[in-house]
Structure 1
Amino acid sequence: MNVTRALARQPMIRFLGKRNTPSQVDHTPHAHPASPTHELPSSFKSYRQKAQQHGPLNATPRALVGGHIGGAAGKALGPIEAGKGMYFDRSELPERFQRLSWTQAEIDAIESGGASLFA
């Protein structure tokens, strides 16, 4: 019977140089580099006035029955409209960006697993 030696695990990655952490890190809030306005909102309340998520977030108290969305009809929450140059669905895009219809050859190729392309 052969005896196996226990080998020490050696990581495959090697770091160059000594590990060092910065002495000072700036933790002040700043706007995301890709934000459209490049500025932070002045308060959470002002942010909520402009934000939309599945409808306007600044609904009036009478539209929020029971203190939550869903307690009233969606019509009571106000209109949901996309901004200029924004679309909610792909079918609203110009025709060149819409989905193409499948051809019969493509449908046959998918149904046969690609075998119909070589038959």
Structure 2
Amino acid sequence: MNATRILLAQRQPMIRFVGKRVIPSQIDHTPHAHPASPSQSLPESFASYRQKAQQHGPLNRSSSTFAGAIGAAPGAALGPVEPKDGFYFDRAELPARFQRLAFTEAEIEAIESGGASLFA
């Protein structure tokens, strides 16, 4: 136990800090735009930001049906949703060659046995 104390007393950290630790006297806390911001300017207010913001579509709806709130109307009120030509919403709508194949009894048995039925 004494040997450990001697070793710890001689230990020096590998990191060396240059200079004395000082807290800056003047720190600028004023808000500023992020350096990678495309506009390099801050919005005037949060309300003006929300007018232009998009999250899966515009956050602001001018239609009276939506009353300016997300979720104020049911999804059916948005109108029918149809996929474009060549696009499908479900795998079952694909042509037969791209649909899921049914498992055979041998495959089901192999899966349930963990593959042991293939060698028995």
| Shorter-chain TM-score tier | 0.3 to 0.5
Normalization by structure 1: what TM-score? 0.47
Normalization by structure 2: what TM-score? 0.47
Bigger relative CO (Cα 8 Å, ≥ 6 apart): 1
Please identify the structure whose Cα radius of gyration is greater.
2
